[in-house]
Amino acid sequence: MGDTNRQWRLAARPTGEPTHDTFELVEAGVPDPEHGEVLVRTIYQSVDPYMRGRMRDAESYAEPWEPGEPMRAGVVGEVVESRADRFDEGDVVTGDLLWAEYATATATELRRVDPSLAPVSTAVGVLGMPGVTAFHGFMDKGKPQAGDTVVVSAAAGAVGSVVGQLASAMGCDVIGIAGAEEKCDWLTDDLGFDAAVNYEEEDVGRAVAEAAPGGVDVYFDNVGGPVTDAVWPSLNDFARVVACGQISLYNATELPTGPRKLTDAVQKRLKIEGFIVRDYDRWGHALRRLGGLVRDGDLQYREHVIEGFENAPDAFLGLFEGINIGKTLVKVGEEPELP
Amino acid sequence: MGDTNRQWRLAARPTGEPTHDTFELVEAGVPDPEHGEVLVRTIYQSVDPYMRGRMRDAESYAEPWEPGEPMRAGVVGEVVESRADRFDEGDVVTGDLLWAEYATATATELRRVDPSLAPVSTAVGVLGMPGVTAFHGFMDKGKPQAGDTVVVSAAAGAVGSVVGQLASAMGCDVIGIAGAEEKCDWLTDDLGFDAAVNYEEEDVGRAVAEAAPGGVDVYFDNVGGPVTDAVWPSLNDFARVVACGQISLYNATELPTGPRKLTDAVQKRLKIEGFIVRDYDRWGHALRRLGGLVRDGDLQYREHVIEGFENAPDAFLGLFEGINIGKTLVKVGEEPELP
C-alpha cells in the first residue's frame, strides 16, 4: 500500500446544483486499524443520488455531512490490514465507507464479497444497495401481481433497471421511462420491458396512457416532478406508488410546487409509500435472489465506470445529467488477482 | 301517505361552487314498489361532501349523476308499503336512496334501524356512513398505536369528530383542526381532544408543531390544500396519512397546485393511503363497536338538522362554508311514534 490517502471532503453545502466547488480533495494519512477493525483499500466507490440529501443541513433519516469532513460512500475494497478475526488480508469486502482511497472499518460494518460469483463491482450495484432497493421497494411496497401493469421512472438507472426486470419476470407488463433513445432501446431490446417512453422526446402522459390502455397498477418512482405528474392520471384504482426517489427535485432551492395529488389519492384509493432501503437491516434474502437471477442470466445490468479517484465528483454530478446507463461508479484502484 | 312526491334533481353540473341553480325541485309521482321492493318515506336525508364529486362528469368510483336525473343520498325512512318479506310497514330503514320524499328500494339495499337503540337520525351519521368511514379509515389505514400523536382535519365534522374520539379512547394524543372557536371548544371540552387548532385564526403549521412537539404519527385528512400543507412538516418518520377527503379542493375548476409532497414521502417513509368507505361491504362490526361506544356515552356526536325537504340544497351548500358542527342532515318528514 502507499502511504498517502486522498479523500474527497464536502467543501461547502451546495445551493441548488452541486458543482466542483462542492468538493475538496484532501491528502490524509493512511489510518491504522484498531482492534476489531480492518484497513480497506478502495477498488470501486459508488456515487448515488441519495448523497445529495446528505449535503443538506437538514434533519433526515441520516445525519447530514459536515463541510470539511469526509463524505461517505458505498465501497468495494480489499482488506490490506486486518485486526479483526473475520477478515484476512486480500479479502474483498463491501460496506458504507468513505470517499477515500483507504479507510478503516469495524468488521461488523462489512460484508464479504466473493469474486468468483460475479464481478466485485456489482456489490455496490445490482448485488448491492441499488439491487436490494429495487427488490424490497418493488416486492414489499409495490405488491405486484402477475398481470399488473408496472411503470418505472429512471428505468435505465441502477434501481429502475432491476425493478423492471423483476416485474417482467413476475408476469407484469412493464413500461419504462428514461431520457435517451439508447436507454429506451436497452430496456425493450435487452431487459424485457414491454414499452419504453423517452421523456426527452415524447409527451409522457400520452405515451404512458397509450402503452397502458388498462391503466397502471404499480408506479415505481425514482424521479418525481413532471414525469410523475404525467403518469398520475393513468393510475388505476388501488394502484401502489412506491416513492423511492425524487431525483428531479433534489437540487431544488425552494420547495417546488406542482399539481395536487391527494384528490386522486382519495378517489382512486391510491397507496403511496416512501421507501428507503436502509430500513432493512437484513439483505441476505434479497441478495440471494438477485444473485441467482444474475447467475442464470435473468437479470441484466450495466455499469458506467468512471476511471480514477480524482474524477469522483464528475461521476456524482453526472447522476443529475441523466446521461449514464445503469449503475455509476468510480474505479479507484485495481482489483486483486483471483487466486 | 300523500300522492305527491318531490325530488331534487341535478339541474346542471356546477362549475366551481355549486349554487341554487345546481338543483331543480321536481314534482314526481309516488312510485309503486315492485315484488321484493318497499316504498320508503324519507324522514332524514343526508348531505355529504362526496356528493360534489358525483356532480362532475368524470369517471370515478361511482357513476356521475346526470343532469335532469334524481340525485342519490343516504336516507333514514319509514317503510310505508312493503312487497318484501324482510320488512313490514312501519319499519325504520336506512339506505342509499334519493333526494326525494318517497323512493322505492329493494330489500337487500336497506338496513333496519332500531329506534330503541339510538335516535334514528344517527343511521346516516355516527352510526352510519360517516361513523363507519371514521372507524375503518382510522383503524385500518391509520394503524394507530397507543401513544401516537394523531391530527384530524375537519375535526368537528361528522367523520373527524368520530376519528378524534376513537383516537383518544385508544390512548393517542389528539389534535383537531377546525374553523371556529365554538368547534374547537367542543373538541377539547366535550370530545376529549388534547388540543384544537382554529385554522381561521391561527398559523396551522406553527400551532400543530407546538401541540405535537414529538411530531405527528397519524394524519387523518378530510380537507387537503393549505391545511394539509401546514401539517406536513410535522409528520414523523413512518407516519400514516389517511386521505379520506379533500373538501377544500372539491370546487376547484382547475387542477390546483401546491407544494410537492413526495420528497418528504421518501425521506420520512410516509404511507399515504386514499380511503373510501364503500369499499367495505360489511359494516356490522364497525356499527356494533360504534353503537356500544354511543350507548356507553364514550362517543359524543352533534347533528346540524335543517328542517324541510325544500331546504336540502342549502344544507348541502352549507357543507362548503364550514359553519356546521357535526353531521349535517335534512329533516324531511316526521319520525314514527315509538310503539
Query: What is the per-residue pLDDT for B75?
Result: 98
Nearest residue in chain A measured CA to CA from B141:
A271
Query: What is the per-residue pLDDT for B322?
Result: 81
CA dist., res. B310 & res. B216, Å (int)? 43
> Of B163, B156, B137, nearest to B283 (Cα)?
B137
Instruction: Answer yes or no: do A265 and B243 touch at CB < 8 A.
Output: yes
Q: Identify the burial level of B147 via C-beta atoms within 10 angstroms of its C-beta, where 0-12 means exposed, 13-18 middle and 19 or more buried.
A: exposed
Segment among A143-157, A199-213, A219-233, A325-339 with least mean pLDDT? A325-339
The mean per-residue pLDDT over the stretch A139-156 comes to: 98
Residues from chain B that touch A52, judged by Cβ atoms under 8 A, are: none
CA dist., res. A133 & res. B312, Å (int)? 53
List the single residue in B255, B266, B279 with the smallest CB-CB distance to A276: B266
CA dist., res. B240 & res. B153, Å (int)? 14
Q: Which three cell numbers stand for residue B17?
A: 361552487
Buried b (16+ CB within 10 A) or exposed e, A205-240: bebbbebbeeebbbbbbbbbbebbbbbbebbbeebb
Query: What SS3 class is residue B122?
Result: helix
Helices (H), A58-157: 129-136
Query: What is the per-residue pLDDT for B251?
Result: 87
Distance from CA of A215 to the nearest CA of B (A): 13
pLDDT tens across B281-299, in order?
889 999 999 999 999 999 9
The mean per-residue pLDDT over the stretch B15-29 comes to: 95
Beta-sheet pairing, B271-274 with A271-274: antiparallel
Segment among A53-67, A105-119, A177-191, B234-248 with least mean pLDDT? A53-67
CA dist., res. B26 & res. A241, Å (int)? 45
Indicate the average pLDDT of chain B: 95
pLDDT tens across A91-125, in order?
999 999 999 999 999 999 999 999 988 999 999 99
- The answer to whether A324 and A53 are in contact (CB under 8 A) is no
Q: Which fold has domain B5-125+301-331?
A: Quinone Oxidoreductase; Chain A, domain 1 (3.90.180)
Q: Which three cell numbers stand for residue B267?
A: 425521506
CB of B282 less than 8 A from some CB of A: no
For A183-233, give the DSSP string: HHHIIIIIS--SEEEETTTS-HHHHHHHH-TT-EEEEEESS-HHHHHHHGG
End-to-end CA distance of chain B: 19
Instruction: Answer yes or no: do B279 and A269 touch at CB < 8 A.
Output: yes
Query: What is the per-residue pLDDT for A58?
Result: 78
Residue A1 scores a pLDDT above 60: no
CB of B233 less than 8 A from some CB of A: no
Q: Which three cell numbers stand for residue A13?
A: 453545502
Q: Which three cell numbers stand for residue B187?
A: 373538541
Query: What is the per-residue pLDDT for B310?
Result: 97
The mean per-residue pLDDT over the stretch B160-175 comes to: 98
Query: What is the per-residue pLDDT for A2?
Result: 62
- The answer to whether B280 and A281 are in contact (CB under 8 A) is no
CB of B259 less than 8 A from some CB of A: yes
Q: Which three cell numbers stand for residue A143?
A: 405488491
Residues from chain A that touch B219, judged by Cβ atoms under 8 A, are: none
Distance from CA of B17 to the nearest CA of A (A): 17
- Residue reference for cell 458505498: A74
pLDDT tens across A197-206, in order?
999 999 999 9
The mean per-residue pLDDT over the stretch B188-194 comes to: 98
The mean per-residue pLDDT over the stretch A55-81 comes to: 90
Q: Where are the domains of chain A?
A: 4-125+301-331, 129-278
- The answer to whether B141 and B125 are in contact (CB under 8 A) is no
Distance from CA of B332 to the nearest CA of A (A): 30
CB of B90 less than 8 A from some CB of A: no
Confidence of residue B339 (pLDDT cuts 50, 70, 90): low
Residues from chain A that touch B225, judged by Cβ atoms under 8 A, are: 260
Residue B95 scores a pLDDT above 70: yes
Residue B1 scores a pLDDT above 70: no
Q: Which fold has domain A4-125+301-331?
A: Quinone Oxidoreductase; Chain A, domain 1 (3.90.180)
Residue A272 scores a pLDDT above 60: yes
CA dist., res. B339 & res. B336, Å (int)? 9
CB of A225 less than 8 A from some CB of B: yes
Nearest residue in chain B measured CA to CA from A248:
B263
Confidence of residue B2 (pLDDT cuts 50, 70, 90): low
Q: Which CATH superfamily is domain B129-278 in?
A: NAD(P)-binding Rossmann-like Domain (3.40.50.720)
- The answer to whether B133 and B159 are in contact (CB under 8 A) is yes
Nearest residue in chain A measured CA to CA from B263:
A246
Query: What is the per-residue pLDDT for B213?
Result: 98
Q: From the candidates A263, A268, A270, A276, which should be mutated to test the interface with B, based on the most B CB atoms within 10 A?
A: A263
CB of A144 less than 8 A from some CB of B: no
- Residue reference for cell 372507524: B135
Confidence of residue A339 (pLDDT cuts 50, 70, 90): low
Q: Which three cell numbers stand for residue A123?
A: 456489490
CA dist., res. A98 & res. B246, Å (int)? 46
Helices (H), chain B: 51-54, 129-136, 160-169, 181-185, 204-211, 225-231, 262-267, 284-295, 312-319
- The answer to whether A25 and A316 are in contact (CB under 8 A) is no
Query: What SS3 class is residue A288?
Result: helix
For B212-270, give the DSSP string: -TT-EEEEEESS-HHHHHHHGGGEEEEEEEEE---GGGTT-SS--EEE--HHHHHHTT-
Sign of CA dihedral A211, A217, A223, A226: positive
Tally the C-alpha atoms within 13 A of residue B153's C-alpha that lie toward its C-beta: 29
